[in-house]
Chains A and B, each alone.
Chain A
Amino acid sequence: MTVESTAARTPRRSAGSKAGATGAKKSTGANARKNAGTELVQLLTPEGKRVKNAEYDKYVAGITSEELRGLYRDMVLTRRFDAEATALQRQGELGLWASLLGQEAAQIGSGRALNDDDYVFPTYREHGVAWCRGVDPTNLLGMFRGVNNGGWDPNSNNFHLYTIVIGSQTLHATGYAMGVAKDGADSAVIAYFGDGASSQGDVAESFTFSAVYNAPVVFFCQNNQWAISEPTEKQTRVPLYQRAQGFGFPGVRVDGNDVLACLAVTKWALERARAGEGPTLVEAFTYRMGAHTTSDDPTRYRGDEERLAWEAKDPILRLRRFLEAANHADEGFFAELEAESEALGKRVREAVRAMPDPDHFAIFENVYADGHALVDEERAQFAAYQASFADVEGV
Chain B
Amino acid sequence: MAAEKMALAKAINESLRRALDADPKVLIMGEDVGKLGGVFRVTDGLQKDFGESRVIDTPLAESGIVGTAIGLALRGYRPVVEIQFDGFVFPAYDQIVTQLAKMHARSLGKVKLPVVVRIPYGGGIGAVEHHSESPEALFAHVAGLKVVSPSNASDAYWMMQQAIQSDDPVIYFEPKRRYWDKGEVDPEAIPAPLHKAQVVREGTDLTLAAYGPMVKLCHEVAAAAAEEGRSLEVLDLRSVSPIDFDSIQASVEKTRRLVVVHEAPVFFGSGAEIAARITERCFYHLEAPVLRVGGYHAPYPPARLEEAYLPDLDRVLDAVDRSLAY
Contacts and interface: CB of A to CB of B under 8 A. Distances in A.
Tell me if chain B binds chain A.
yes
Interface bin, chain B: 35 or more
Interface string A361-384: 000011111101111000000000
A201 B63 contact: yes
A141 B219 CA distance: 56
B64 A373 contact: no
Interface string A77-90: 00000000000000
Contacts of A367: 104-105, 143-144
Contacts of A148: 108
Contact of B53 (A160, A175, A177, A182): A182
Interface stretch (B92-100, B127-135, B200-208, B313-321): B92-100
A179 B68 CA distance: 9
B107 A173 contact: no
A253 B318 CA distance: 68
Given A208-B59, A373-B242, A172 B108 contact: no
A368 B67 contact: no
Contact of B63 (A155, A171, A375): A171
* Interface majority SS (helix, strand, loop, mixed), chain A: helix
B143 A175 contact: no
A171 B107 contact: no
A140 interface: no
B110 A206 contact: no
A182 B146 CA distance: 28
Given A212-B59, A374-B241, A149 B106 contact: yes
A139 B167 CA distance: 26
B103 A161 contact: yes
A187 to B, nearest CB: 11
Given A155-B110, A176-B74, A212-B59, A168 B99 contact: yes
Interface residues of A, number: 42
B67 A172 contact: yes
Given A176-B74, A212-B59, A206 B64 contact: yes
Given A368-B144, A375-B143, A205 B59 contact: yes
A177 B71 contact: yes
Contacts of B242: 372-374
Question: Which of B53, B59, B71, B98: most chain A CB closer than 10 A?
Answer: B71
Contacts of A151: 108
A175 B71 CA distance: 4
A370 B168 contact: yes
B64 A208 contact: yes
Nearest to B196: A373
Contact of A165 (B70, B98, B195): B98
A150 B94 CA distance: 19
A170 B110 CA distance: 20
Interface in A45-90: none
Contacts of A171: 63-64, 66-68, 70-71, 95
B75 A168 contact: no
Interface in B91-149: 91, 94-95, 98-99, 102-113, 143-144, 146
A154 B112 contact: no
Contact of A168 (B73, B94, B112): B94
Contacts of B72: 175-176, 178-179
Contact of A369 (B70, B95, B112): B112
A161 B104 CA distance: 11
A372 B146 contact: yes
Contacts of A370: 166-168
Contact of A172 (B71, B76, B94, B243): B71
Nearest to A211: B59
A183 interface: yes
Interface string A134-163: 000000000000001111011100001101
Contacts of B243: 373-374
Nearest to A375: B143
Interface string A205-236: 11011001000000000000000000000000
A208 B108 CA distance: 31
Nearest to A369: B167
B244 interface: yes
B167 A209 contact: no
Contacts of B103: 161
B77 interface: yes
Q: Which of B66, B99, B104, B108 counts the most chain A CB atoms within 10 A?
A: B108
A288 B109 CA distance: 33
A191 to B, nearest CB: 10
Given A168-B67, A172-B67, A208-B64, A179 B110 contact: no
A157 to B, nearest CB: 12
A165 B74 CA distance: 18
Nearest to A156: B110
B323 interface: no
A228 to B, nearest CB: 19
B244 A373 contact: yes
A174 interface: yes
B42 interface: no
B61 interface: yes
Interface in B23-69: 53, 58-59, 61, 63-64, 66-69
B74 A172 contact: yes
A340 interface: no
Given A154-B111, A202-B63, 11 more contacts: A171-B67, A172-B71, A174-B68, A175-B69, A177-B71, A179-B76, A201-B63, A205-B64, A209-B59, A366-B104, A369-B113
8 contacts: A149-B102, A171-B63, A172-B99, A173-B71, A179-B77, A209-B59, A369-B168, A374-B243
8 closest Cβ contacts across the A-B interface?
A175-B71, A171-B67, A179-B75, A175-B68, A205-B64, A369-B167, A176-B71, A366-B109
